[in-house]
Structure 1
């Protein structure tokens, strides 16, 4: 695809015209924001690239209402700067994929919601889609659709907001998003329990989450991963538990958590600065950022099953891993082959879940089901929805599944 084939509309009406013309001509479009996540999903082969990077700007923000609206191409950095000026933040701590994928550019707010990107705070605050209040988008026929306004034929009853989040630009081109935000916590501390094995860490995290101390992040870094955080954990495995809120409250809750976790191993407490660094690196999967030729999986399972999955895989193949979301999110780095069939077999045997291939070369991503294959009834429903939103299949063809 040549550089002159990239279209950069500046208004929603321009987006609608471009999509409408493409639909009438039967031309496919590769839809993106800042392009930082273009290496995720199956490779898109399209006639023209449609970038939303020029469709930018905050359209409404009332800090007292904890709600912001912005055009889809608005850089995430601009959003976060506006929020920080009012001591507020996004609720779901979105991951920056650039270190892991080696991509460039600037993440956009529309791309974030299109991929439903969430980080460690997903455990307590929900996913990106849970913060999304409204959307405007252009469907595959070039029609402008907004929540609370026009209802598309034969899709009455569908939650358009939730449907667009995580659709990866295959159902419509997001043009504006409205989302809720939260006050930034006054204080942050992270309780560290050292030298637990994976099974012991899973029990410790479950115990911490069951306490009334409001843990906002729970992760476990085995020795193979913890040493990549420098001398912070003294070369030992580290189970990290984050507390946030008012300073006095965090101090009291920290004392309670330290007392409980002290029964399981040596305990220390990280201050706000060290905590921010640790959780940013966990969020962005920094332990696996260096070796970009190795495949990386993002696996969601029951928190009690995460360490069992890793143990089973280690008996069969080379794998490195660490755990977020109380053990329910497992980041896996494979030595060479993604081992998709084996991995998904074990996930199914442990009660089910979702395995997404986050990093691999284009040929591998084209050959494998990158996203978790859907059961037949759900796949049929997805195809019907795709037909309603994008009848000619022109938007990001093949991104999530093989194009029909």
Structure 2
């Protein structure tokens, strides 16, 4: 089904006789059972006021269309949504509704905030086919319950977005990247922490192990960027830091889209406190299983990937002999350690399976299982918004 209006969308949901698989641009995978309900027919920018820094668009509007309109006015989406097609090999077109529904946020999140922080209002159809509106089209709108942030990240399990209102920001005049050589992931986290704690307004801090360096980003007015980049380089002068002002966009697009792991059939996204990431996760993982990885958000986000050869070696090491069974065991082990009852072995974070062959993806939960108390709240919310349980059933639970 591909409704062409909000009324058609409400009618389609209300008349559904079974589960619905909600699809925006079809770029992120994670298929669920049910009749496909595409939002691509709900397309178009309905309001854009550059002076008020606000934009309203129907949920199926291609992200490229929105970025082009903003670029023409010297503005942008500050939360820097990644393009999953690079990592997952998809062929669809990302939509603004999909970005909000999945709360897709890139490297700048650590300084600017996530997608949900830029959502001013939403319109959506709940599981009964009722149109719900929350928030507004201006920044000073705080009336009622904050369903806007509830919908951001719910991935279509509470309602199908039909329209979103976003706050936008001016694009910077200039940008610079700083490459700081490091020898170990522990050094990388230390360098990123020092940079983010400096007064130089760093808005990107990532670690590329294959390049052996931390990459830092500064944006703003040209003179300010030049000054801050020089001062930041002086802070890491003993490490041979180098400033790059020519390929900043290309460098950070590759980091944003996790291009380094695009050929890995298994990829996880893990969120943890930076101080715990290396000793609790990376060092044991590298020692026992030989993962490849990339750190972002100052070390709080880890993209973890395994090649076919690494998976085979891991299967041989643990004596399973079956790479698929090994992949399932590794995934379950990661998620179980995040909530382990023993404080000494608990990782205290979230593990999400982003990419996997279909035989693996269908055997395990992609998202981190919730603690019992939180799971009860989640179930109650779903019962309220989708009493029939037809919207993306099983996707996040």
TM-score (norm. length: structure 2): 0.89
Segments of structure 2 that go 5 or more residues without pairing to the other structure are 137-142, 312-326, 340-344
In structure 2, the residue matched to 1:266 is 240
Is 1:330 paired with 2:326? no
**1:350, distance to aligned residue in structure 2 (A):** 5.4
Residue 318 of structure 1, CA deviation: 2.3
Structure 1 CA distance, aligned partners of 2:235 and 2:278? 22
Question: Which residue of structure 2 lines up, in the alignment, with residue 33 of structure 1?
Answer: 24
> 161, 185, 208: which one pairs with 1:198?
185
Superimposed CA distance per residue, residues 12-57 of structure 1 (whole angstroms, 9 cap, x where no aligned partner): 00000111111xxx322111111111x13xx3110x2110111100
The equivalences for 1:310-349 within 5 A come to 310-334=282-306, 335-336=310-311, 337=327, 339-348=330-339, 349=345
> In structure 2, what is the Cα distance between the partners aligned to 1:32 and 1:345?
29
Q: How far off its partner does 1:131 sit?
A: 0.6
For residues 108 and 73 of structure 1, what CA distance do their matches in structure 2 show?
5
Counterparts of 1:52 and 1:186 in 2: how far apart (Å)? 35
1:167-187 Cα distance to aligned partner (Å, 9 max, x none): 111110100000101100101
1:171-217 per-residue CA deviation (whole Å, 9 max, x = no partner) reads: 10100000101100101001111143111111111111111100010
User: 1:63-115: CA deviations, max 9, x gaps?
Assistant: 01111000000000000000000010001000110111111111000001001
Helix, strand or coil at the partner of 1:305: helix
In the alignment, the residues of structure 1 paired with residue 3 and residue 364 of structure 2 have an alpha-carbon distance, to the nearest angstrom, of: 33
CA shift, 1:396, in A, is: 1.1
Alignment-derived partner of residue 99 in structure 1 = 86
Structure 1 gap segments, 5+ residues each = 1-6, 150-155, 227-236
Separation (CA, whole Å) in 1 of partners of 2:363 and 2:255: 29
**Residue aligning to 1:21:** 15
Distance 1:268 1:196 in 2: 16
Distance 1:199 1:148 in 2: 43
Give aligned pairs, total.
Answer: 366
Give the Cα–Cα distance (whole angstroms) in 1 for the partners of residues 237 and 277 of structure 2.
23
In the alignment, is the contact (CA less than 8 A) between 1:139 and 1:389 conserved in 2?
A: yes
Q: Distance in 1 between matches of 2:179 and 2:396?
A: 38
Picking from 243, 247, 263, the partner of 2:218 is 243
The answer to whether 1:364 aligns with 2:337 is no
Residue 306 of structure 1: CA displacement? 1.8
Return the structure number with greater relative CO, CA threshold 8 A, min gap 6: 1
Rounded to whole Å, the distance in 2 between the matches of 1:64 and 1:165 is 25
1:112 aligned partner: 99
- Partner of residue 10, structure 1: 4
Kept in 2: contact 1:306–1:327 (CA 8 A): yes
Match of 1:281 among 235, 254, 279: 254
Find the partner of 2:33 among 21, 45, 62: 45
271, 282, 293: which one pairs with 1:300? 271
Cα distance in 2 for residues equivalent to 1:393 and 1:157: 25
- In structure 2, how many angstroms separate the alpha carbons of the residues matched to 1:298 and 1:148? 30
**Cα distance in 2 between the residues matched to 1:162 and 1:362:** 31
327-336 vs 120-129, which deviates more? 327-336
| SS in structure 1 at match of 2:247 | helix
Match of 2:388 in 1: 392
* Residue pair 2:261, 2:293 contacting (<8 A) in 1 also: no
Q: Distance in 2 between matches of 1:105 and 1:357?
A: 20
